[in-house]
Amino acid sequence: MKLFVGNSNRSLAESIGKYLELPLGLASVKRFADQEIFVEIQENVRGEDCFVIQSTSYPANDHLMELLIMIDALRRASARRITAVLPYFGYARQDRKAGGRTPISAKLVANLITEAGADRVMTMDLHAGQIQGFFDIPTDNLFAVPLLARDIKEHLETDHVMVVSPDVGGVVRARALAKRLDAPLAIVDKRREKPGESEVMNIIGDVKGRHCILIDDIIDSGGTLCNAADALMAAGAKGVRAYITHGVLSGGAVARIAASSIEELVITDSIEPTKAIREARNIRVVTIATLLGEAISRTTTEQSVSSLFD
């Protein structure tokens, strides 16, 4: 087994390598003057089981091209099997035609990864579960809920906790967390007037006197989460924390979270945290290195991955 990494999240890849007691494979990922990407695999991979760890986070297109070119380089170097490990799968929010004459970019990206030469895909908390079906190769969608539930139990008394889904679409994820915590569930009903903005309309469930835990897969601008937190506090919640798998946190999101009524935002390192995130007063990062490392180990030894979440 060999691990290779692009430029998107080297610190996570190093942590995975430490868990597996494996050094990262030798590879050079460079840019020409016109920003063309050049990859050179600098060690023998013939007949090896190779894993390419690369989140397609900002800049998404550059990191996606690095991934595709690394897969192609490994395929042409006669690797036995190539697994694309995407802790964060970019373009996942474009999983359907949202209007006339719009693309399904998640399917296009799945096709690109497959055609580049990947034999398997491993990712985490896909925005929409059906994206697994966009790939014509085996795909493992890992879940962060067990990891997040363990963190909540370590930092909070769960007697008065209530799990809250920030929208109707996230109810399945929220229910899974609520079941692990043996906690009740509430839902924020909101109406989005235009892209990038949301208006909270109603809270479904009695949150009065509860410590509310908002759970979601992606936080981008942070507007939806902050509005939901304000609505929960107005409805009598004692406090609001948020647990999000993928901290995209674009634009002024970090400042927005810092100024909000959210006591603490917990994200994973599926996307490499920026300096602003690391220095934010109410943002904390938990690592998924152990989970990914164990999934990689089980893949290469042909053991069950789904049993990780039993």
**Catalytic positions:** 190
Q: Which helix or strand (DSSP H or E) is residue 52 part of?
A: strand 49-53
Number of Cβ atoms within 10 Å of the Cβ of 32: 8
How far apart are the C-alpha atoms of 305 and 225, rounded to whole Å? Answer: 31
Check whether 132 is labelled as a binding-site residue: no
What's CA 195's distance to the chain center, in Å? 21
How far apart are the C-alpha atoms of 97 and 48, rounded to whole Å? Answer: 39
Angle CA(22)–CA(147)–CA(297) in degrees, nearest 5? Answer: 25
Check whether 192 is labelled as a binding-site residue: yes
Check whether 94 is labelled as a binding-site residue: yes
Contact 93, 218 (CB under 8 A): yes
Check whether 93 is labelled as a binding-site residue: yes
Check whether 300 is labelled as a binding-site residue: no
What's CA 151's distance to the chain center, in Å? 17
Check whether 223 is labelled as a binding-site residue: yes
Check whether 167 is labelled as a binding-site residue: yes
How far apart are the C-alpha atoms of 32 and 44, rounded to whole Å? Answer: 24
Check whether 35 is labelled as a binding-site residue: yes
Check whether 224 is labelled as a binding-site residue: yes
Q: Residues comprising the binding site for Mg(2+)?
A: 127, 167
Q: Residues comprising the binding site for D-ribose 5-phosphate?
A: 192, 216, 220-224
Q: Residues comprising the binding site for ATP?
A: 34-36, 93-94
